[in-house]
Amino acid sequence: MLHTGVRRRQALEGRLNGHAEATGGSGISRLDGVTFDAVVVGGGVLGAGVARELARRGLDCLLVERWDFGWGTTARSTRLVHGGLRYLANYDFGLVREGLRERAWQLRVAPNLVTRLPFILPFYTEPLWKRLQLRAGLTLYDLLSPRGSLPRHRGVGREELARIEPTLSQEGLKGAAMYWDAQMELPERLIIDALRAAADAGSTVCNHVRPTGLRREAGSVTALELTGERSGETAVVRTARVVNASGPWADETLAAMGIRRPPLMRLNQGIHLVYPRLAEHAIAFEHPDDNRLCFMVPWQGGTMVGTTETDIATIGDAAIRPSEVEYLARATRARFRTPEAEQPLWGIVGVRSLINQPGRANRVSRRHVLVDHATEGARGLVTVAGGKLTAWRSIAAEVVDDVLGSRDRDALRPDPIGERVPTQTEPPGRDDVAERLWRLYGAHAPEVVATAATDPWWGEPLMSGESAIRAEIVHALEREWAVTLADLVHRRLMLGFGPDLGRRAAEAVATVCHERLGWDEGRVSRELVEFDRETAERRLPILV
């Protein structure tokens, strides 16, 4: 059982992880009858974290993802690695402390992905007692942080503020505080790192595959039925343990596995608007309408503004609503009186899986849900959902403790992501391509460089004016389980965040796939249509 996976994965690897996927066939029929110690359903940050942790503890694990790794909530979050200042108001100190510990760890071990982010908290009309309360909250936040992980907060006078953030509205400004948190600009890339670590330890990873049935005997799980989302291929894998980590789709996934029960979670959507760059610092502010804490975060050359909290009945109801766009746009215009603040470029909607309890959504705990389905006749099946991107490692450790019925005290020791020391802990000089490869691929950057070295053509820029190189496409298809054009552009090469939402990059990638990687013209046009369909959900509704 322990690490038999390494050898077996090598046998399965060429068929499941290589170009077979890139042609659209999932190849999963080859898994038919294979036994796994555990199967993880869902390739968001929690599923990837659980697979990494299972593999780290020596289990032979399979992870299946329906639409692509990081496609779900993880890529629709504010992308902050934080304790959560607003959770202090709920007296959820344990949750804040856990986040701050995990923030310190990730800043240390994943410097290419997780970076320090200074926040400005401006004070406008708040009465003195409110300002003192906010400063007291920041002091507590500092005290809960591991010592020395980030600078402590400090006051910022009006003059300094006008100098460091000249476009921030000065009207009624009384001063500000500056505090520090962290940001993971590309959690999609962290998921790939965690999956690579799991695969290196012997796990099998399948993209565009979902469960379509759960087999049970005497109330215990014995096997999982799988179907390839694109190929329609099927397989039945044997296993006694299944972890449902399908985020806000968890109730849907349970239904597809034949588990009948009342909904586990309360679904609550949050949107973000993306603007051209508005400010150099992140800005935390209370929304003028209802005093909710919102953020403007510098991100990928622009500014992300969020978020909203709107309960929805089913996951299919998630969509950017005009009222939410207006709510965030109003606050943005109030804070920045510049032309850039007039028109958001695009938006994104994500769905929180909250513990199913009544009350205002921002008062409901952001803790994760961990449910054992033994009482529903499925011993061995557990669901994990909710929680925070920040705490992915500690939630994964708790899930695996639960699945195995034993606690591993080493799970939260300060080891690097991927169980290896990054080859570079500092950005490699000022070369744009080297900097980009380090940011995206971290310890795996030399693999991309090696691919580029096979033929100078692969080392060429993908498009003029971009530091992305053609070799990244091969790397994503061969080593990162990318299948579709949208997988490549949006969640591997990370080129979909500009005003054109990646359309130019999609054409460039499709051309390379056509010229060198065997995509015929029919495939290219189908992929572009699918790319446009997926990307359309980021367009903003026209406001009347």
Q: Which residues bind ligand FAD (CB under 6 A)?
A: 41-47, 64-67, 71-74, 76-80, 210-211, 245-249, 253, 256, 270, 307, 350-352, 385-390
Please, which residue, 283 or 508, has the CB nearer to ligand FAD?
283
Please, which residue, 347 or 452, has the CB nearer to ligand FAD?
347
**Smallest separation (angstroms) from ligand FAD to the CB of 61:** 14
**Smallest separation (angstroms) from ligand FAD to the CB of 99:** 7
Residue 212: closest CA among 190, 185, 233: 233
For residue 81, the one-letter residue type is: V
**Smallest separation (angstroms) from ligand FAD to the CB of 316:** 12
**Smallest separation (angstroms) from ligand FAD to the CB of 248:** 6
Please, which residue, 112 or 246, has the CB nearer to ligand FAD?
246
Cβ proximity of 332 and 234 under 8 Å: no
Maximum separation of any 2 CA atoms in the chain, in Å: 72
Cβ proximity of 205 and 194 under 8 Å: no
Residues 6 or more apart whose CB falls under 8 angstroms from that of 314 comprise 267
Rounded CA separation 364/358 (Å): 8
Please, which residue, 256 or 445, has the CB nearer to ligand FAD?
256
Which residues of 334-489 form beta strands (DSSP E)?
A: 346-355, 368-372, 381-386
Neighbours of 148 (CB within 10 A): 7
Rounded CA separation 186/169 (Å): 30
Rounded CA separation 235/255 (Å): 19
Please, which residue, 42 or 451, has the CB nearer to ligand FAD?
42
**Smallest separation (angstroms) from ligand FAD to the CB of 244:** 8
**Smallest separation (angstroms) from ligand FAD to the CB of 537:** 14
Please, which residue, 86 or 131, has the CB nearer to ligand FAD?
86
**Smallest separation (angstroms) from ligand FAD to the CB of 69:** 6
**Smallest separation (angstroms) from ligand FAD to the CB of 447:** 24
For residue 335, the Cα-to-chain-centroid distance in whole angstroms is: 28
Q: Which residue has the tokens 């999982």?
A: 224
Which 8-state DSSP code applies to residue 416?
P
Residue spans of alpha helices (H) in 118-271? 128-144, 158-164, 187-200, 250-256
Please, which residue, 209 or 469, has the CB nearer to ligand FAD?
209
Rounded CA separation 230/256 (Å): 17
Rounded CA separation 103/97 (Å): 10
Please, which residue, 228 or 519, has the CB nearer to ligand FAD?
228
**Smallest separation (angstroms) from ligand FAD to the CB of 232:** 15
C-beta nearest to ligand FAD: residue: 44
The b-or-e profile of 414-431 (16+ CB within 10 A means b, else e) is eebbbeeebebeeeeeee
Please, which residue, 249 or 458, has the CB nearer to ligand FAD?
249
Rounded CA separation 82/84 (Å): 5
Rounded CA separation 217/65 (Å): 25
**Smallest separation (angstroms) from ligand FAD to the CB of 469:** 27
**Smallest separation (angstroms) from ligand FAD to the CB of 196:** 17
Rounded CA separation 324/272 (Å): 9
Rounded CA separation 231/429 (Å): 44
Residues in the chain: 544
Map residue 43 onto helix, strand or coil.
coil
Please, which residue, 17 or 207, has the CB nearer to ligand FAD?
207
Map residue 98 onto helix, strand or coil.
helix
Determine what percent of the chain falls in helix, strand and coil, rounding each to the nearest 5: 40, 25, 35
Please, which residue, 10 or 323, has the CB nearer to ligand FAD?
323
**Smallest separation (angstroms) from ligand FAD to the CB of 295:** 8
**Smallest separation (angstroms) from ligand FAD to the CB of 352:** 4
Rounded CA separation 113/187 (Å): 8
Please, which residue, 390 or 535, has the CB nearer to ligand FAD?
390
Please, which residue, 202 or 270, has the CB nearer to ligand FAD?
270
Cβ proximity of 339 and 69 under 8 Å: no
